[in-house]
């Protein structure tokens, strides 16, 4: 029996778990960080909560006889990916990162690429005074000192400092383009701030911004650790997880 740990929390992780859960000779465990109050659970065995850093994960991998790790976490979960890379290296377990492709600008887009949230906060004031912030609840404090008005959309309420002039909109996608256009018009949004998460489930906001001619502050993805294999092909990840090739 080949035991596979999926570091999940994404649609890609759930899809991979569903396939592997029905694969003969494969025992799959999905691990969720527990940062969302009511996460969408994948098929098969699920573990929720942290491991205690890289050392804790390395020990858990050895104790549970894990043969392979697939990191299918959010593209911006850089700390989890770094810990997983260190842990698998120490435990002698192979690791593959599964990442959905990045978004790319289309004709008519007004993107302003920035390297991180701090740079995004610094770019906002020159682009508009009413901002739709769609970065999740973590990292909102990077915008706390800004004078613009923010509509902060997240699944769960932020637990960090928020901008003084802001409103929190709790909502879980996917949203249609019409939904996004209506939200932007209702709140008189002038600029969209988002992370380059990629994928079709949350791309409607980009289409809406293009339709309305709004600028988009796009936060670039962090790099994955050196020496770690990565794929954006779900079939490749399934084959690798099930057979190791």
pTM for the full predicted model: 0.87
The owner of tokens 């691990």 is 31
pLDDT at 36: 67
The owner of tokens 């289309």 is 106
Indicate the Cα dihedral angle 119, 121, 127, 130, nearest 10°.
Answer: 160
Digitized pLDDT (tens) for each residue of the chain, 245 residues in all: 999 999 998 999 999 999 999 899 999 999 998 766 677 789 899 999 999 999 999 999 999 999 999 999 999 999 999 999 999 999 999 999 999 999 999 999 999 999 999 999 999 999 999 999 999 988 999 999 999 999 999 999 999 999 999 999 999 888 999 999 999 999 999 999 999 999 888 999 999 999 999 999 999 999 999 999 999 999 999 999 998 76
The phi and psi torsions of 190 (rounded to 5 degrees) equal -115, -20
Q: Which domains occur in the chain, in start order?
A: 2-100+223-243 (3.40.50.720), 110-219 (3.40.50.720)
């Amino acid at each position: 029996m080949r035991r596979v740990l999926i570091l999940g929390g994404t649609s890609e992780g759930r899809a991979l778990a569903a396939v592997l859960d029905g694969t003969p000779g494969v025992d799959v465990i999905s691990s969720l960080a527990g940062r969302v109050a009511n996460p969408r659970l994948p098929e098969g065995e699920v573990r929720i909560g942290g491991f205690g850093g890289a050392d804790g994960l390395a020990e858990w991998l050895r104790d549970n006889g894990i043969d392979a790790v697939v990191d299918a976490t959010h593209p911006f979960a850089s700390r989890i990916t770094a810990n997983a890379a260190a842990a698998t290296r120490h435990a002698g377990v192979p690791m593959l990162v599964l990442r959905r492709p990045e978004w790319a600008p289309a004709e008519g887009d007004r993107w302003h690429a920035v390297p991180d949230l701090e740079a995004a906060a610094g770019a906002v004031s020159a682009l508009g005074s009413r901002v739709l912030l769609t970065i999740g609840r973590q990292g909102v404090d990077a915008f706390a000192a800004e004078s613009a008005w923010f509509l902060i959309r997240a699944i769960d309420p932020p637990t960090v400092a928020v901008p003084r002039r802001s409103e929190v909109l709790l909502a879980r996608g996917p949203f249609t383009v019409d939904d996004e256009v209506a939200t932007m018009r209702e709140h008189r949004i002038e600029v969209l701030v988002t992370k380059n998460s990629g994928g079709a489930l949350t791309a409607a906001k980009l289409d809406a911004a293009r339709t309305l001619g709004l600028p988009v502050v796009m936060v670039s993805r962090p790099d994955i650790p050196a020496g770690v294999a990565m794929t954006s092909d779900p079939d490749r990840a399934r084959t690798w997880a099930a057979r190791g090739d």
